[in-house]
Chains A and B, each alone.
Chain A
Amino acid sequence: MATIQFDLVSPERKLASIEASEIQIPGADGDFTAMADHAPVLTTLRPGVLRVVAGNETSEYLVTGGFVELSATNASVLAEQALPVADVTRELVDGLVEAATTAAETADPSEKDAAHKRIADTKALLELV
């Protein structure tokens, strides 16, 4: 089965670099799964869970934002903040929800919708803990 080179980098370090068979990405316009020979796409991320399937193993990462650069052979995820789901703590998610809530309160009317969506997205992450 064809594989796709998957790289997950955060500003501070490289978190993963593996040959994956499929990658589930929480895109800003909706979740999608990328496999080898995907059309080139550049999309931003919403706060959510990134799932990477390589062989029989699945790894999950929490990402808070950033973007994905996808080509037929490569998937580079540049996440603002990313960590393995196993390391996610309640405080961290609470902090994200709080940050999103304060941002929503001060947001321009034109950005209110996006800000509220962000709150919902971060709240959904509470299920992880």
Chain B
Amino acid sequence: MPNLKDLKTRIDSVKSTRKITKAMQMVAAAKLRRAQEAAEAGRPYADRMNAVMANLAGASAGSDSAPKLLAGSGDDQVHLLVVATAERGLCGGFNSSIAKLARAKAEELQAAGKTVKILTVGKKGREQLQRDLGDLMIDHIDLSEVKKVGYANASDIATDVIARFNAGEFDVATIFYNKFQSVMSQIPTALQLIPASFETEEGADAPLYDYEPGEEEILADLLPRALSTQVFTALLENGASEQGARMSAMDNATRNAGDMIDKLTIEFNRSRQAAITNELIEIISGAEAL
């Protein structure tokens, strides 16, 4: 049986761990609210953009003059996986669930004989994929200096991806991120960026627009923006998911620490009682022997 002093130290250390996890949980909760607000605020733009793009893309689909970003390069040999994760750990399964999905996809593509390239956004995903897929990585985008992810960050990523596409580095691009469902659940999601796909809402018939300058020019102008918007939405969802995941992970940790403290305290009290009883027995048997 461990002695009393050891138990006491142990209890104290678990207590301070609990304090830390509790604080982290509170910080995550505050950040989560902000991240959710940001995601909320970005929605009107993304929704409208999607609706307009769906409309435009639907009109030009199948025509020979459709831009390459929309129609694809006519091949699907080289795939680019954009893996967006967090810059920090201690957020439960957040990073590993994205990495797992991306790894599964990479293996599936490789099994089918395709070439896979990986672009990582966020340090943690890079660390997790480095070991088995490290040689496939072409670049890494570091957001650790960025306090609040803005549209400019997303736009940079999208521009980079588009430039690589135009240079013929890949045929299909997919972004991996966690979709925020609730604090308890985040859904790892893969979204195809190039060739661009836009979900059309059935029945939402848009009026017949006059296009100025022309339909094709507008489409060409808007496609890169639409891509940036998709990346931005993914980053925002990721931000909210990260904080949500961290909050519930830290909540669990706090609860576990509490349970452990209870268990250790009981053990501590038992040992103390045992020691007292022992001493009493010694005194009494000593007195009886006289």
Contact = CB atoms under 8 A, between A and B. Distances in A.
A14 B47 CA distance: 12
Contact of B213 (A13, A28, A66, A81): A28
Nearest to B37: A13
B207 A40 contact: yes
Main DSSP-derived SS at the B contact region: helix
A67 B48 CA distance: 11
Contact of B209 (A14, A28, A41, A44): A41
A86 interface: no
Interface in A15-41: 27-29, 39-41
Interface stretch (A4-12, A54-62, A121-129): A4-12
Nearest to A39: B210
Given A42-B210, A44-B212, 10 more contacts: A9-B45, A11-B232, A12-B45, A12-B151, A29-B212, A40-B208, A40-B210, A41-B210, A43-B213, A67-B221
Interface residues of B, number: 28
Contacts of A3: none
A10 B232 CA distance: 12
Contacts of B221: 28, 44, 67
Interface string B24-45: 0000000000000010011011
Interface residues of A, number: 24
A78 interface: yes
Given A43-B218, A67-B52, A71-B207, A14 B212 contact: no
A41 B209 CA distance: 5
Contacts of A66: 225
Contacts of A81: 151
B44 A14 contact: yes
Nearest to A67: B222
Nearest 4 Cβ contacts at the A-B interface:
A43-B212, A11-B151, A13-B41, A42-B209
Nearest to B221: A44
A82 B210 CA distance: 24
Contact of A11 (B52, B210, B229): B229
B49 interface: yes
Contacts of B41: 12-14
Interface in B230-276: 232
Nearest to A44: B221
A119 B115 CA distance: 41
A11 B222 contact: no
Interface in B49-106: 49, 52, 56
B150 interface: yes
A76 interface: yes
Contacts of B210: 39-42
A7 B49 CA distance: 13
Given A14-B41, A42-B218, A44-B222, A76 B48 contact: yes
B208 A11 contact: no
11 contacts: A9-B48, A10-B151, A11-B232, A12-B38, A12-B151, A40-B207, A40-B209, A40-B210, A44-B221, A66-B225, A81-B151
A60 B129 CA distance: 48
Given A44-B218, A67-B218, A9 B44 contact: yes
A42 B222 CA distance: 11
Given A29-B213, A40-B208, A43-B212, A11 B45 contact: yes
A28 B56 CA distance: 18
A94 interface: no
Nearest to B209: A42
